[in-house]
Structure 1
């Protein structure tokens, strides 16, 4: 697999991702789903080898799948490049892997990340390993778009956060955008990548609006979303949003929180995370997935090894409960860390150091 972390020389670690900087002009303000839709339109217009396939992409309501991301693609590019498929994730992914190995750039939509488990042979044993198994004769420029996470009452089989599972597999790139601008720019880079990329959107963020500029955002480049001096919070997606809320709340207590969003779990910009942790001396890694065996454990291990003796306290992890996501709203919110829990975790860490 190509080491995409070696392609980041054009932008220094810690770049803030200012969308106005991409083309020197004022950014657009879009919802996340519209930003993704815009990226797909632009990628398909620029490259005839890019095509989209998935369930109900043109037939759900006004078209565009259940969250609207593929809206009007079929009208613009035709049925050959926007393909509705049977309800069989194994077949969809296997067909896309073969198409990618033959020189096209498929963008597969899996309705929920939970359903990608039906296609794990194609993802883990085929897409992730084809270049290695065939001695570099094939690239697999495949993007698997799907959504994950809780927050809108989709219950246990539609609300899991599976990013750590995919990040564990050699050969896969894993993208976890947490804003409209990142969703747009990272999707452009994922489509251009020669590697199979798992692109995990968050269903509770589709309608969040934010600035979106033209141009890709390199994979493997973390974003210092908010600078601070007392504690670093490393967070993605919904927890990034809650980290920013916690940072706002803690200003009243005189606590300055730096928020870092990795944006991609592989390639991982560990240098920016290390630099932030060394600067503040305290770290909390927050994610929605269960705390046990989540990506927070990996970051805590790397931070402990590389900053041993330089941190004011051991890195903290804050994750979800080890339980299926309940359907009832009150129960659903109780098993995933909220802003209040993150505020309390930060205060407790500050009190010990």
Structure 2
């Protein structure tokens, strides 16, 4: 069974027969929305485009791996598991109105995490959920948890064509008919109104070279399986032989306030409308979706969880309430207007934005 054919509610997941493989699924509240990117634009204030960030509150403009130990420098985390001070971030979704102005799309909590202040749902998986429906194995696969200082990036903010997306597997969107919808998935933005919002799905590579905690591209030290996907049980390539957990983000963008086609931009002078959503880096296609990650779990907490049979909830890990998650926040160090109706995306020249392409 593919992960995204499941009903979305936490209750539905827990009610199913617990597999032998570890799977963590947890909510993280919003930490801050600002133009900082310590991975791609370290030291640069502001960064090239706007991001939404969750996790530990030590997030800042530099975060060099030698000097910045997230668990020791963070005083709180927006994530459900209190030992997780990692930082996770993506671009921000905007609605582009017919008059050319932009409005930031709010984020909504996933089913099972009601009350969480926006944010995302994060997964760490030891094996494909239920072994992709192929029956149980004699033993679960071993995965090596990320090491202190580990960081990675998946996706490319410059992409604008469907052909380019073949470089990355499983960066997709789900047009939510209701909050529990999990299929079908598309590579680009949905082309019609989505009653319950748009879910952006980010799945990271699951193989590591076993040596480098980062690389100049923030991608070369990790790899997808040699063939197939994590869900299909594909083996790691010889260049990246170490299996790491499948890290996945689900972000629900609450587009319900923008579902009236009368608000959508006109496609051309002859009539019709065009898909109105745009990423904060100016991408109107959806093909430029990407996600960033900096590992920050305390001590060996993640490895212990991955070595166990923890499923969704993990008694060996310390948890905090939604109220405690929501209390953790970070001051916006850039201090620019990102709310209200904007004439330009923060940091982006609209005249240079790529138009949708197939």
Give the TM-score band, short-chain normalised: under 0.3
With the length of structure 2 as denominator, give the TM-score of the two structures. Answer: 0.23
Length-normalised TM-score, structure 1: 0.23
RCO comparison, higher one (Cα < 8 Å, 6+): 2
